[in-house]
Structure 1
């Protein structure tokens, strides 16, 4: 079955930068049936609030992956909403015009309910980006995580901006609560990344969101691709739903041939 992985960090805390490491990752992915990987960047290297120069450096690394394997890697533009409208728009424009990136990656600089998110939504609208928002249930992650976006925060963002497609990252992190929050929002796509697979969660997401709004993501190298692929292939859902989750939904969402 064909696969696109919408949630990867090929370079992670500086590991994986050498060409032989990149080539090995591509070979490993292809052996598992992964035809394309979305590179979200080394988003934890500089802490939760990288500055403009650090963002450029990380986005340049994703662009280098694309250049080395243009038929395999697709970049997302990592941004920090707290830097303000000018910084957000400048880097978002650079990433799409110079590199052809397909989306925006947001980590934990701020909560998705923060007013500064209007700059991100403007960039997404202007440049045709999908927005991937790090999301995790605070009941799973612990206290004092105010800059982590709960699934309700991400769903609220989507509700305020129905013309922007949003990926709610980490199905296992947002859990059943995340599925409930995303229900009824056609512009929200929940990716399967984050945490060890939970029996029944993919089935629950398909039942309540429909197979069209669930997409495959691994979060490699934090999670092993084969385990995350298995969580979809082993789910008690129709083969047609598995094909949508693993490939067709992301191909359509990002306009990938």
Structure 2
């Protein structure tokens, strides 16, 4: 089973990149992807509620294809963020929540801004995902996720982009962080292929997941890249990276 662990959808096509849930299904069908972990494509404004709702509606319409994650922005205020987290888990039934300090402009382990929201989300015991990239490295450095993972050792964390997105990347710091914190799993999207291969070599095939970053990257191109990248691994290891690992983290197997 192939699971794309990093896909963004939008409630409508507000720019040339945005894709809707139905369009993503078309790509998945064409490219042979069985399931996709989906979260919102960040809107131009700060109103994420309609986009979280769109993810919920997509998951409800295609429960066998979509694994929905909510999105929380602590800068929207404590009350709004608390209500968002509660809705994501209790009403929408999401598999987890994503935090993106690069897009939303905060330091992910900030004790005053971010940690109260993370602590609330962690009470649900579900996986928490973080954009970890070199694009806004001060806000989203891998070591910052390490601080969070140490604080909540019982929570599975997904390190999306594993320090990539920009150049020079922070993938070595990402692997180092994952080495120190066994509750951290890497999603190898928008990062150099060599970095993904190094992560697999260091951590083993159980800690790295395929992700395309669709629609910012093209799903079929990333599938082809991973096919070439993993050609020297045995079938069991390839199956873990291409879907088995994220399925285990989300407890769908």
TM-score range, shorter chain: 0.7 to 0.9
- Which position in structure 2 is the counterpart of 1:103? 96
- Which position in structure 2 is the counterpart of 1:249? 245
**RMSD between aligned residues:** 2.3
Judged with a 3 Å threshold, the aligned counterparts in structure 2 of structure 1 residues 87 and 147 are, in CA distance, closer, same or farther, namely farther
- Which position in structure 2 is the counterpart of 1:118? 115
Q: Are 1:14 and 2:14 an aligned pair?
A: yes
Instruction: Tell me the CA shift for residue 106 of structure 1.
Output: 1.0
* C-alpha distance in structure 2 between counterparts of 1:153 and 1:22, whole Å: 32
* C-alpha distance in structure 2 between counterparts of 1:13 and 1:194, whole Å: 22
Segments of structure 2 that go 5 or more residues without pairing to the other structure are none
How many residues are treated as equivalent by the alignment?
A: 240
- Which position in structure 2 is the counterpart of 1:168? 159
Q: Are 1:156 and 2:147 an aligned pair?
A: yes
Alignment of 1:67-216 (within 5 A): 67-108=60-101, 109=104, 110-115=106-111, 116-137=113-134, 141=135, 145=136, 148-171=139-162, 172-173=164-165, 174-195=170-191, 197-198=192-193, 200-216=194-210
* SS, match of residue 96 in structure 1: helix
Confirm or deny: 8 A CA contact 2:129 2:158 kept in the other structure. Answer: yes
TM-score (norm 2): 0.85
Instruction: Tell me the CA shift for residue 17 of structure 1.
Output: 7.9
* C-alpha distance in structure 2 between counterparts of 1:31 and 1:13, whole Å: 20
Confirm or deny: 8 A CA contact 1:66 1:73 kept in the other structure. Answer: yes
